[in-house]
Amino acid sequence: MNTDVLVVGAGPAGAMCAYLLKKAGVDCLLIDLAVFPRDKICGGGLTSKTWHLLLQLMPDFNYAFNPVSDVHLDIDGKVQCDFTIDDPIRIVQRRVFDHALLQQYIAIGGAFRHEALNTLEEQADGSVVAILKSGERITCRYVVGADGSNSRVRRYLKPDTDRGILAMEQYVEKRPENRIDVQLSESYTRGGYFYRFPANEFDAVGFGDTATTLERFRRIMREQGVPAGKERGAYIYLSNDYPLHSHIILIGDAGGFANRITCEGIYNAFCTARNAARAIIEQRPFSETNAAIFRKMRREERASNYFYSHTGFIVLRWICSHPSLIKKIFDRKMKRGPQ
């Protein structure tokens, strides 16, 4: 079989990229190893910059969400503050949300198949052959790797790649407060925090840092008063060592594009999906169409070193005792994004 573009993975990055390509009339096939609707471990929080971008890219997309404006921030169990953000965070259930996104692509005539990628082979004429688990070979001009943190496409380009940080989550019964809880602590290793995000049907409660284990997760849940539940874990790949290739493009978590400080990933999944579609449609290098995101990732890397340092925590505790200031910072960060 031949296709112009093969998009591997139908999460937010892959479904969006395939949708934009299809809209532009590009011959494209989207594959995913999962049967949809499938769940994805995730807090499901769409910040205002994310849902505004989604509205811009898919104006007629309707989806269910729980809008939350109240935030409770706790630093080390010592300093707490409560504030209300201007634009609510929309909490979605990934099982429902990702399925609805995929349906948007299928509704405009997009081709989708339930298939798993095994590996890739490059041909002398510049084309790429995707070899599926079923043994089928698909020849294409471009492969877009949107297959998440454990990406096979990335492993083809960069076999020595690590898996990133392990985050764990469980769903618990909803509590009456429609509020997001976040706890940061110097005792968590870099990038770690506890969160509770209220979706429509349940609260998603999670934790992840560079030292996550099941025991550590359970201890933190106990400390936070969360009842025992069914734990699930997933890696978040975070790396600025992006393997550029003219015909194989990595987007979303496969490319290591989640936020270095918060691990928010859906926003950059959409941004990189749009930038990959642009690169293919306009025949420009991804390094150019995605330049603003590459710059942002490097800035975030530097910022996260400071944010999670001892000095960073001193500043955080001080900021946390000034709720109006922290509200201003949150509002600014959630609205901002590279164009």
Ligand X SMILES: Cc1cc2nc3c(=O)[nH]c(=O)nc-3n(C[C@H](O)[C@H](O)[C@H](O)COP(=O)(O)OP(=O)(O)OC[C@H]3O[C@@H](n4cnc5c(N)ncnc54)[C@H](O)[C@@H]3O)c2cc1C
**Which residues in this chain contact ligand X in the complex, by CB under 6 A?**
8-14, 31-34, 40-45, 116-117, 146-148, 152, 167, 169, 197, 206, 208, 234, 236, 252-254, 258, 263-267, 269
Please, which residue, 243 or 317, has the CB nearer to ligand X?
243
Nearest approach, Cβ of residue 212 and ligand X (Å) = 10
Please, which residue, 137 or 315, has the CB nearer to ligand X?
137
Nearest approach, Cβ of residue 311 and ligand X (Å) = 27
Please, which residue, 198 or 252, has the CB nearer to ligand X?
252
Contact present, 243 and 254 (Cβ < 8 Å) = no
Please, which residue, 30 or 280, has the CB nearer to ligand X?
30
CA atoms within 13 A on the CB side of 233: 17
DSSP-assigned beta bridge partners for residue 194: 183, 207
Please, which residue, 33 or 64, has the CB nearer to ligand X?
33
| Number of C-beta neighbours around residue 78 at 10 A | 9
Residue facing ligand X at closest CB distance: 265
Please, which residue, 152 or 196, has the CB nearer to ligand X?
152
Nearest approach, Cβ of residue 36 and ligand X (Å) = 8
Nearest approach, Cβ of residue 318 and ligand X (Å) = 26
d(CA 115, CA 183): 39
Nearest approach, Cβ of residue 169 and ligand X (Å) = 4
Please, which residue, 79 or 87, has the CB nearer to ligand X?
87
Contact present, 8 and 152 (Cβ < 8 Å) = yes
Nearest approach, Cβ of residue 232 and ligand X (Å) = 8
Nearest approach, Cβ of residue 78 and ligand X (Å) = 25
- What's the alpha-carbon Rg for the chain, to the nearest Å? 20
Kindly give the residue spans of alpha helices, DSSP state H, lying in the chain. 12-23, 48-57, 94-107, 152-157, 214-223, 266-281, 286-289, 291-307, 310-320, 323-335
Pairing of strands 79-91, 248-250: unpaired
SS3 per-residue string spanning 248-299: EEECHHHHCECCCCCCCCHHHHHHHHHHHHHHHHCCCCHHHHCHHHHHHHHH
Q: What is the phi/psi pair of residue 221, to 5°?
A: -60, -45
Nearest approach, Cβ of residue 124 and ligand X (Å) = 25
Q: In terms of Cα–Cα distance, which of 61, 1, 11, 3 is closest to 280?
A: 3
Contact present, 243 and 24 (Cβ < 8 Å) = no
Please, which residue, 68 or 234, has the CB nearer to ligand X?
234
